[in-house]
Amino acid sequence: MPLILETIVTTLSPAGELHLVPFGLIGEEDGYVLAPFRPSPTIVNLETNPCFAASSPRDIRVIAGTVTGRRDWPTVACDAIAGRRLADSFGHAEFEVAAVEDHEVRPRFRGRMVHSAAHAPFIGYNRAQAAVLEAAVLSTRLHMLEPEKVLTEMAYLAIAVGKTAGPREREAWGWIEDKVAAALGPEARILGRDDR
Ligand X SMILES: Cc1cc2nc3c(=O)[nH]c(=O)nc-3n(C[C@H](O)[C@H](O)[C@H](O)COP(=O)(O)O)c2cc1C
Which residue, 141 or 163, has its beta carbon nearer to ligand X? 141
Which residue, 41 or 166, has its beta carbon nearer to ligand X? 41
Distance in Å, CB of 128 to ligand X, minimum: 15
Distance in Å, CB of 44 to ligand X, minimum: 8
Which residue, 7 or 190, has its beta carbon nearer to ligand X? 7
- Secondary-structure percent of the chain, ordered helix, strand, coil, rounded to 5: 35, 30, 30
Distance in Å, CB of 4 to ligand X, minimum: 8
Which residue, 56 or 81, has its beta carbon nearer to ligand X? 56
CA–CA separation, 40 vs 182, rounded Å?
23
User: Which helix H or strand E contains 137, and what residues bound it?
Assistant: helix 127-139
Which residue, 42 or 55, has its beta carbon nearer to ligand X? 42
Distance in Å, CB of 119 to ligand X, minimum: 20
Signed CA dihedral, 14, 23, 7, 30: sign only:
negative
Cβ–Cβ under 8 Å, residues 75 and 85:
yes
- Residue 186: asked if its preceding bond is cis (omega within 30°), the reply is no
* CA nearest neighbour of 50 among 90, 26, 14: 14
Residue ranges binding ligand X (CB under 6 A):
6, 19, 21-24, 35-37, 40-42, 63, 67, 133, 136-137, 140
* Beta carbons within 10 angstroms of residue 65's beta carbon: 22
Distance in Å, CB of 141 to ligand X, minimum: 8
Which residue, 43 or 196, has its beta carbon nearer to ligand X? 43
3-state secondary structure of 85: strand
CA–CA separation, 98 vs 109, rounded Å?
8
Q: Which residue is nearest to ligand X (CB)?
A: 40
Distance in Å, CB of 62 to ligand X, minimum: 10
